[in-house]
Amino acid sequence: MADSDNITTLSVVTRRRLLSGASMLATGWQLAASSHDNGGGDRSGDPVVAIWHKWQAAHQETQRLCRKQEQLERKLIEMAANIRLQAYRDFTDHEFDYSAARHAEREMGHQEEHLLKLLSSTPATSIAGVIAKLDAILIEGQPSKNDAEFPWPQIRSVLQDIIRLSQC
Cα 64 to Cα 17: distance, rounded to the nearest angstrom: 11
Q: Are 151 and 68 in contact (CB under 8 A)?
A: no
Cα 30 to Cα 108: distance, rounded to the nearest angstrom: 24
Chain segment 33-90, per-residue pLDDT in tens: 444 443 445 677 899 999 999 999 999 999 999 999 999 888 888 776 656 666 767 7
pLDDT of residue 42: 62
* 124 has pLDDT over 90: yes
A 10 A CB-CB count for 74 gives 10
pLDDT of residue 98: 79
pLDDT of residue 12: 40
Across the strands, what pairs with 42?
36
pLDDT of residue 22: 37
Cα 132 to Cα 4: distance, rounded to the nearest angstrom: 39
The SS3 of residue 36 is: strand
Cα 95 to Cα 72: distance, rounded to the nearest angstrom: 10
Residue 151, preceding peptide bond in cis (omega within 30° of 0): yes
Chain segment 126-149, per-residue pLDDT in tens: 999 999 999 999 999 999 989 999
Chain segment 78-94, per-residue pLDDT in tens: 776 656 666 767 777 77
Cα 138 to Cα 133: distance, rounded to the nearest angstrom: 9
pLDDT of residue 60: 95
**DSSP H or E run through 52:** helix 47-79
